[in-house]
Each structure stands twice: as C-alpha cells, then as structure tokens.
Amino acid sequence: MRRFVTIISIMVFAGVLSLSCSEKHEVQGSAVEYKAGDMTFKGYLAYDALKQGRRPGVLVVHEWWGYNDHVRRRADMLAELGYTALAVDMYGGGKQANNSEEAAALAMEVSENRDIRNERFMAAVNFLKQQESVDPERIAAIGYSFGGNVVLQSALEGADLKGAVSFHGGVILKMPSGPVTVKAKMLLLKGEKDWYITPQMLVQFKNDMKKIKADYKIISYKDAEHGYSNPESAALAEKFKGMHIKYNEEADKKSWADMQEFLRVVFRKF
C-alpha cells in the first residue's frame, strides 16, 4: 500500500512538473520597421519563442501621444498569452507628441483622413500577417484611447479582423457611406466615469451598431475614468495639460481579463 501511494505521489509530482514546464515562456521582442506609401513606420514585434507553429496575431494601437513603452509592454503581455503581437505606429517614424497641440495635430491627421488611416493600419496588418509565427487567417486588433477608436473604425470599414477591442476608446465613429460587411466582433471596454464618453454618445453608438447589425459588446468598469489601463496616466496628465485621465488598477486587470476571454472566443480557443 505504501509503495502504491509512493508511485501515485511520483506520478502527481511528474504531472505538476510537466504542467509547469509547459507554461514556461521565452518572449522575444524586437524593434521592426515597415512601410506605408513612402513613409517608414516603427513597430515592436513580440512572440513566445518556445511556442511551436503559427498562432493568431494581435495588433496593439497606441494612445493619443503616440507609439511608446505602454503598447510595447502590452505586446509582450500578449506574447506571454501565446499570440504574436505587433505594437503599431500610426504617426510614422515612431513619433511621440511633446504637448497637447502636437498630439491633437498628429491624431487629427489620422482620424480625419480615411485613406491615411486605412493605409497605415492595413500596412501594419499585412506586416503582421507575413511573420512566420502568425496564422494570417486569425488576426485581431486592440487599441487604447485614440487607438481604440482606430481599431473600431477599421473594423466598421471591413478590415479583415476576427476581433477589435477598444480600451477607453472614443465612440464617435464615421459610419460607412455604402454597404459594408463588418467581419470583426467588437468589444468596447470603458470606464463608467469616462469624461470623454457621454450617455448621448453611447446611445448614438448603439443605434449605429444596430443599423449595420454589428456584433459588439460593451463592458463598463465601476469608478474607472479615461486612461484607466495606463499606470503612467498621472504623469501623462501632468505633461498633457487638460487631460481627464486616471489609472485604475482594478479596471486595468478586469479589462485585460475580459479581453483575454474575448480573444479566446474569436480565435476559437487556439
């Protein structure tokens, strides 16, 4: 009997050890460049080198101030989950704004010009699809604030995405003028106290989604404000005067978990 218990104990320990080994990661991240028209864009590609075969790819689009450490960290976190992630540069050359005026000008150039936004976003999509570790048939995009608006707008215009996730992104979207097939499921993760999303905006958003029969979901987080997902929000609020942003650790963690579940569904638990 004692020998039997010992054998069982060894088997259980071996199983735990095997499970532990299977959960090891070796995230590799590197700076990359890709082209859109005549412009060069700087990105960051991250993946788990211990994972075998092709896997879904996820784009990460930055906030108002530009391509920075925040989206690179999120790319690493996605790589730990088993995806290949690309932190995207929507301004070109890895530009980062130094003040609110610069940020507004850079963001407006993209958000107010469909052709520019589409060319830059799709250049990133195509670059990601070409990576050896990526299954080009399974691509999603997540975005923060400005970036959240970019990924939702791209989804509405028929971008070849399985899913689009917006973290405290704007909900004022330009609806397609003609018929369009929205391929992506959409997830809007917002703070209940987001100063930039009014009840009227949400009503309009829901009405627009209903008209085009979009597959979408909204999740709100109690006491969370705009910028709830970025631990550097306080420093950014000081630098970019007039911004109503505040980090909320609970909302950050909950929204990341909600995103993970959403991606498992759209990628069919790869």
pLDDT for 102-115, tens place per residue?
Answer: 999 999 999 999 99
Whether pTM exceeds 0.85: yes
Mean pLDDT of 40-51: 96
Percentage of the chain lying above the pLDDT 90 cut: 84
102-108 long-range CB contacts below 8 Å, 24 or more apart? 103/64, 103/65, 103/66, 103/240, 104/64, 106/66, 107/64, 107/146
Q: Is the pLDDT at 98 greater than 50, yes or no?
A: yes
CATH architecture assigned to 25-266: 3-Layer(aba) Sandwich (3.40)
What are the boundaries of each domain within the chain? 25-266
pLDDT for 174-202, tens place per residue?
Answer: 988 877 789 999 999 999 999 999 999 99
